[in-house]
Amino acid sequence: MTVVSAVQRQAADDGASGLRPLVVDLDGTLLRTDLLFETLWRALAGGPSAVLALLGALGGGRAGLKAHLADVVTIDPVGLPYDGQVLEQIRAARAQGRLTVLCTASDQRLADAVAGHLGLFDAVHGSEGVRNLKGARKAEFLAERYGEAGFDYAGDALADRAVWRRAHGAITVGLSGPARAAVRTAGGPVVHLDRAAPGPVPYLKAMRPHQWLKNLLIFLPLLAAHDLSLAAWQAAIAAFIAFSLIASSVYLANDLLDLEADRAHPRKRSRPFAAGAASLVVGTGLTLLLLVAGFAIATLVGQPLFLAVLAGYFVLTTAYSLWLKRRLVIDICTLAGLYTLRVIAGGVATGIALSEWLLGFSIFFFLSLAAVKRQAELVDGLASGRAEAAGRAYRTDDLPIISAMAIAAGYASVLLFALYLNSSAVLKLYAHPKLLWAIGPVLLYWISRVVMRAHRGTMHDDPIIFAVRDRVSHVCGVIIVAVVLAASLP
C-alpha cells in the first residue's frame, strides 16, 4: 500500500470540502472490466492442473480465490480499458489538492499495479487474501480510515450503496435510472456519470455469427453426393445450428482467454471484451449457455456418432484456444483439422459415406487456408514493427516458410481434385464430367491470389471472411457453381 504523508492524512481527516479525499473503485468504475474474471480466465489457460488449483483455492473464500489468482497470474495494466470520465474526475481532484485513493475488492497486488501505471493515487487499498474489501466491509474500512462522511466515493454498482451511505458525496458510473434513485449519501451531492450499457450487439459481435459460414461445410457431403432427401437436409440443418452454437461458445471463451494478446493486436484490440464494451461476467455465462444449447440441439440429429464428432470438435477447438494455437505448426494443422471435422460431421449427421477424395482435398485445401491466416498475421506484425506474432509461436522471419506451406498445400488440393475427376465416382454423378476440369484453373488462380494478397498485407487475417467480402472470390464461386450445374445437367 502506498504511504500517505502526515500532511495529506491530516488534510483528509479535517474534512474540508476542498481537501476531502476522493475514493475510487476499480472494477467497473475506473476500469471497464472486472479483474476477478480477467485473472480467472488467464488462470484457466494453464490447463487441468490450473483448474484443480482453482478449485482448491475456492476453500479460502472470495478473497482467498483472488489472492490465488494474483499469485499465478500477472496483469499488464497498460492495455486495460480505462474509463476516461473517471480519469478526468481523479485528475480534477488532484488539481484541487485533494487526496486520491484507489479502494477495491480486487487483490492488493493487482490494484498496486494499476495505480503504479497511472500514477494518480496517493493511497491504494485492496483485498489481501482474508478480507474481501467490498460492500459493507469496504464502507466500514473507509469510515474507520477517513471518518464518517469524511470522503467522496466513486462506484458503479448497487453493492456500493453501503459505501455511499457513509460517504459525504457520491459519483456513480453507468447506473440506470432506478439504481440512481437508490443512491443515498451522508448529505453531500451525487454526481452521475453516464456510460452506455452493453446491449446485445457487443455480445452478438463476440459470438462471430459471420464465422458460422464455415459450418456450411456440413452441407458439402450432401452436395457432393447429390442427395436432395428431406430427412438428410433436416439432419444437416440441425447439425449446422449445433455446430454454430458450439463454435460461438468457443469464440467467446477464446476472446476471454486472449484478452491481453488481443489488446496488443492492432485490430483485435477493438473486440468487445478486450475493449471493455462487453461484461466479462455476462460473457462467461453466455459461453456456458451456448455450449449447453448446442449439445441439446445436437440430440435432435438422432445420430449418436454425430454427438461424438461434435464433442471431439469442442475438445479440439478448446485445446486450440488454450494451448495448441501457441504451438509451432501444430496450430496450423489443428485449424485444418477443424475445417475437415465439419465435413466429417456433415457425413455422419446425414449418414453419407465420405470419399477419400473429399477428405484428402479438404485436408490440403484447409491446411493452405490456415497457413494463409498465419501469413496474414505475420505480415501485419511486420508492418507494425513487431518481431513476433502476439500469442503465437511464429516470428516475422518465418514468413517465407509459412507462405511456402500455403502455396504447396493449396496446389496439392487442386492436384487431388484433378485425380478425383478421373475416378469412377465422377462418371456416376455427372452427365458431363469433363466440364469439371474448368474448376481446376479457377482454384489455382484463387489460391494464388489469396496468398499474394496476404503477402502484400491487403487481406483480412481470416481468408474465409476475406472470401465472403471479396468480389473476385464471388466471381470465382459463381463460375465453380455454374460449371458443376452444367456438368450435372443431362
Q: What is the CATH number of the domain that holds 96?
A: 3.40.50.1000
331, amino acid identity: D
Does residue 403 sit in the same domain as residue 302? yes
Does residue 14 sit in the same domain as residue 42? yes
pLDDT tens sequence for the chain (490 residues): 333 333 333 333 444 445 899 999 999 999 999 999 999 988 887 777 777 887 787 777 778 888 888 888 888 899 899 999 999 999 999 999 999 999 999 999 999 999 999 999 999 999 987 788 899 999 999 999 999 999 999 999 888 999 999 999 999 999 988 889 889 998 899 999 998 878 899 999 999 998 898 899 999 998 888 888 899 999 999 999 999 999 999 999 989 988 888 888 777 888 999 988 899 999 999 999 999 999 999 999 888 899 999 999 999 988 887 788 888 889 899 999 999 999 999 999 998 888 888 889 999 999 999 999 989 888 877 776 665 665 567 888 888 999 999 999 999 999 999 988 888 878 888 888 899 999 999 999 999 999 999 998 888 667 888 888 889 999 999 999 999 999 888 7
- Count how many Cα atoms sit within 13 Å of the Cα of residue 427 in the half-sphere of its side chain: 3
Q: What is the rounded CA–CA span in Å between residue 242 and residue 236?
A: 10
Does residue 229 sit in the same domain as residue 188? no
Does residue 19 sit in the same domain as residue 144? yes
In a domain, 1, yes or no: no
In a domain, 159, yes or no: yes
Which SS3 state, helix, strand or coil, does residue 196 take?
A: coil
Q: What is the DSSP string of 55-115?
A: HHHGGGHHHHHHHHHHHH----GGGS-B-HHHHHHHHHHHHTT--EEEEEEEEHHHHHHHH
pLDDT score, position 13: 40
Does residue 294 sit in the same domain as residue 329? yes
Q: What is the DSSP letter of 353?
A: P
Does residue 147 sit in the same domain as residue 214? no
385, amino acid identity: G
Total number of domains constituting the chain: 2
For 407, the domain range is 200-488
Measured N-to-C along each axis, helices 304-322 and 330-350 cross at an angle, to the nearest 10 degrees, of 160
pLDDT score, position 1: 35
Does residue 230 sit in the same domain as residue 369? yes
Does residue 307 sit in the same domain as residue 226? yes
pLDDT score, position 488: 86
pLDDT score, position 386: 66
Does residue 186 sit in the same domain as residue 275? no
In a domain, 87, yes or no: yes
Does residue 211 sit in the same domain as residue 181? no
End residue of a domain, out of 193, 213, 232: 193
pLDDT score, position 2: 35
Does residue 165 sit in the same domain as residue 205? no
pLDDT score, position 5: 36
Does residue 258 sit in the same domain as residue 175? no
Distances (CA, A) of 38 to 76, 256, 257: 11, 8, 8
In a domain, 161, yes or no: yes
End residue of a domain, out of 193, 227, 247: 193
pLDDT score, position 170: 94
Q: What is the CATH number of the domain that holds 294?
A: 1.10.357.140
End residue of a domain, out of 142, 167, 193: 193
Q: What is the rounded CA–CA span in Å between residue 240 and residue 208?
A: 15
